[in-house]
A and B are shown apart, each in its own frame.
Chain A
Amino acid sequence: MALNERDPVTGRETTGHIWNGIKELDTPVPRGVLMFLVVTHIWAIGWWFLVPAWPLGSTYTKGLLGVDQRTTVEERVAEARRERASWTAKIETEPYEAVLADPELMETVRQTGNQLFGDNCAACHGRDGRGSAGYPNLTDDDWLWGGTPELIEETVRLGINSTHSGSRIGQMLAFGRDGILDRNQVTNVAAYVYSLSHADYSTDKTAEQIAAGREVFAANCAACHGDDAKGNQDLGAPNLTDDVWVYGGDMQSIVSTIHGGRQGHMPTWDERLTDGEIRTLSLYVHDLGTVQP
């Protein structure tokens, strides 16, 4: 063998090859590297014996531990269900009043409901349930469709203007756009509606317009919103006399509502959530509306 060049820094010989000035040393693979290589391989081969690893035609080596991810996950889901059974059974079967009367159980409802609400409802109603324009606030005690747990359950189960065959239907007609009322009538009835929640709006100057609006209201709106405009929870028609609004209570928004109509869409959760989850959420939302100011 030809004597190769020796590198002064490491004292190693080179391999004798040179590529555009690059040389290589003939250093052996360090012992530590080989040992580490062996350790990782032993670790790997150990796993092959313990768990499913190598295919054998139509089957595979099952491993000494006898584990399989499918059975593992089934067992663990069943175990988690058993652990929760103490309270889920109560929520699923006991009447709402009984659950509401049980402070410990309600604490569980608040915790579980918080996560369920965050994952399913917060996108529309906000993380805190306070809603935003077009999406009602669920934390006040003012309801379109009713605030008892039973009524909330129905809303959640069926949805509003949803694809469910039994969906709640809430239609605020497009009085202006569809030509049911003319422009004057729309502004008049808007003035009337506005005055219901803004007592100081009724002045001598506006009295005439409000009176005209009251007539339009009685003829066109009272059927749904009620003679006193306090709404009708069977139809999802909101109370127009308080200061709680889905679409906004300023004059401009009210005119738009009357002109173009409104149909809020709330999906049905009947098939997407379990009975227990729907009941938990109904209690949670009811609780939001009563506990918080």
Chain B
Amino acid sequence: MIRQLTGSERQLAAIMLGLVAVVGVAMAAAGRNDTMGVHGLIVMLFAGALMYPLFSAIGAPEPTEDREASYYDDPIKVGIVLSMIWAVFGMFMGVWVAAQLAWPGLAFDGAWSTFGRLRPTHTSGVIFGFGGNALIATAFHVVQRTSRARLAGQISPWFVLFGYNLFCVLAVSGYLMGVTQSKEYAEAEWYADLWLVVVWVTFFVLYLRTIARRKEPHIYVANWYFMAFIVVVAILHIVNNLALPISWGSAKSYTVWPGVQDAMVQWWYGHNAVAFFLTAGFLGMLYYYLPVRAQRPIFSYRLSILSFWGITFFYMWAGSHHLHYTALPHWVQTLGMTFSVMLLVPSWASAGNALLTLNGAWHRVRDDATLRFMTAAAIFYGLSTFEGSFLAIRPVNALSHYTDWTVGHVHAGALGWVALITFGSLYTLVPSLWKRERMYSATLVEVHFWLAIAGTLIYVFAMWNSGVIQGLMWRTYTGDGALAYSFVDSLVAMYPYYIARTIGGLLFLIGAIIGCYNMWMTVRAVPETVSRQGDLPVAATVPGE
């Protein structure tokens, strides 16, 4: 890690860590009577923990002159490791909250372990911890390989990666202490949000500068998606988190958005977090690792264009479908509904493009579980975008809203699409980055695949059933025009499905743990090889010049 940095870069890194530690001290002092003080300590510890590897190698030999002629892979490797750690953490939390819904006693009477605090540790843990680290790692990989250029910075990739993880740690530890803005997927409080702005802008600049260094005449589709992901997430994050802290020493803030505007901004953010974090970024992965693994050309460049611009344009308008039949004016709801339906074909275009790319490689799909991960991901992506457009239709939403159907929909996307495409990509990436011939065990990849599929299907079918039953029970009237069931009755009806969901989630978690083991053993036990068919090297000159 440190050996890739020159002496002056090492000094700069030390100064930056020192500054972060000072910020930590300031937070601890200003917030000494508040949960913010605890976060100050965490910031100090985080900076201190990073100083250890830095100072233990500070006198190591400097890199050679030709550093620029190689790809910068160290941050990618660390990103993969962090992603898998967060995967296990976040999915464990998911299984725990799922179990709490079936057996509420599993909160063990702690304040920190109540459902309300654990649920956001699950969502942030999987979306930002697992998904975010995987996105940063693969974005760094894809942009270098498809540009044939090294990342345009030596310290900034580390700053982005560790800075981002500091944000995740502050977010998740805050929820356990009851620190929250109460905005879904944007629960982290103001100082963590400010920090993320700095990190994210650095990410954006780094990405643009790397693209600018590219030695290929054209920018590959995957990079369009990664860029859309980075730019839009920055905009969403800033607008939705505009807030005033009650004091500089307090973790509590109030949003600047009043009433229904707040709801609309929140779900504009929320849905576009789904669109640009959980969709665009992962489509970037799909567009790179699927053709590489299948060894097939992308089915249609034109379909890629249609899909990219359709998704970026239409998604922006769809957020109000989360607020059907609320205080939000009717016309805003209509726009949300109609744009959600117009979004369907562009979404399907990407899923279709991916599946048609496999023509001529279906025998590989049969034999190679890694490619099958990505194939299944494309199918689930198609299914959940269809379902999403369907749920956005107001009368359908009247039945599905506030029920487990939404949760089932989310997880068809989150497990079936986001997690499967990530695992497929990482199984492709790990042997290639660490220069191994193959993964440690193809059988374990196969086992992981079937556990993940079984877990997803059990989860999604359980939630479909329970969601539809809930929705129907809430709207069933007796002959006298009175409600037939109370809310408790519908909870009793959910019980078996909540157990099933817990089992499905557990299978999925076990799969992820097996994946960690397999990756670990690949790095440790499979010998390095030079015969591996590698990447094209960093290009010295522009081709054709």
Contacts and interface: CB of A to CB of B under 8 A. Distances in A.
Contacts of A19: 145-146, 216, 218, 220
A27 B145 CA distance: 25
Given A25-B301, A26-B301, A118 B487 contact: yes
Contacts of B359: 9-10
B248 interface: no
Contact of B349 (A33, A114, A122): A33
A7 B297 contact: yes
Contacts of B345: 33, 36-37, 40
Nearest to A71: B330
Contacts of B330: 51-52, 67-70
Interface in A17-76: 17-30, 33, 36-37, 40-41, 43-45, 47-48, 51-55, 60-61, 67-70, 73
Interface stretch (A79-87, A92-100, A211-219): A79-87
Interface in B269-320: 288, 291-292, 296-304, 306
B535 A20 contact: yes
Contacts of A10: 299, 359-360
A49 to B, nearest CB: 11
A130 B98 CA distance: 29
Contacts of A70: 330
B433 to A, nearest CB: 14
A29 B486 CA distance: 51
B148 A20 contact: yes
A22 B300 contact: no
B333 interface: yes
B110 interface: no
Given A69-B325, A112-B480, A53 B331 contact: yes
A63 to B, nearest CB: 8
Contacts of B12: none
Interface string B329-341: 1110111011101
A117 B486 contact: yes
A117 to B, nearest CB: 7
Contacts of B301: 15, 24-27
Interface centre among B298, B333, B352 (most CB of A within 10 A): B298
B540 interface: no
A119 interface: yes
A127 interface: yes
Q: For the complex of A and B, list the 9 residue pairs with the smallest distance between their C-beta atoms, beginning with the closest.
A: A118-B486, A9-B360, A44-B338, A27-B300, A52-B331, A23-B297, A19-B146, A112-B482, A24-B301
Interface of B: 145-146, 148, 216-218, 220-221, 288, 291-292, 296-304, 306, 325, 329-331, 333-335, 337-339, 341-342, 344-346, 348-349, 352, 359-360, 478, 480-489, 492, 535-536
Given A14-B297, A52-B334, 6 more contacts: A25-B297, A33-B306, A53-B334, A69-B325, A108-B480, A123-B488
15 contacts: A10-B360, A18-B216, A22-B292, A22-B297, A24-B300, A25-B301, A40-B344, A43-B341, A108-B482, A111-B478, A112-B482, A114-B486, A118-B487, A119-B487, A123-B488
